[in-house]
Amino acid sequence: SQTIHQWPATLVQPVGSPLSLECTVEGTSNPNLYWYRQAAGRGLQLLFYSVGIGQISSEVPQNLSASRPQDRQFILSSKKLLLSDSGFYLCAGTSGLDNEQFFGPGTRLTVL
């Protein structure tokens, strides 16, 4: 079965610092991968999705970027964090013909 790994689990960063969150997938190949952000007590907002290596689509304009250097690796980055980048970041993946998305455990980012 598919497993999504994310790290770190929590992160506290100062405003203006860079960011790199990593997501890796086990148990499947050629997955579609997604980055979501969730504000406290709110639903999930899709940030980026990728259908293959090097292919990134952005859903909303923002201070973040994503990259997919390997089939089962998805990275969320920022050159300079803003206070508004704080939130709970979730990576998800699908595979095959099924659209069922599996989620990772998330990264809690606090920008101070």
Partner 1 sequence: GESVGLHLPTLSVQEGDNSIINCAYSNSASDYFIWYKQESGKGPQFIIDIRSNMDKRQGQRVTVLLNKTVKHLSLQIAATQPGDSAVYFCAETAPDSWGKLQFGSGTQVVVTP
**Interface residues toward partner 1, by CB under 8 A:** 4, 6, 32, 34, 42-44, 46, 49, 51, 57, 59, 90, 94, 99-106, 108
CB of 49 to partner 1, least distance (A): 6
Instruction: Determine how β-strand 10-13 pairs with β-strand 107-111.
Output: parallel
How far apart (Å, rounded) are the C-alpha atoms in residues 61 and 98?
29
CB of 80 to partner 1, least distance (A): 27
How far apart (Å, rounded) are the C-alpha atoms in residues 26 and 45?
24
Q: Measured from the CB atom, is 13 or 102 closer to partner 1? A: 102
CB of 36 to partner 1, least distance (A): 8
CB of 65 to partner 1, least distance (A): 18
Spatial contact of 89 and 46, defined as CB atoms under 8 Å apart: no
Rg value, the chain, Cα: 13
Query: 27: left (phi > 0), else alpha (psi -120 to 50), else beta?
Result: left
Q: Measured from the CB atom, is 4 or 19 closer to partner 1? A: 4
Q: Measured from the CB atom, is 16 or 105 closer to partner 1? A: 105
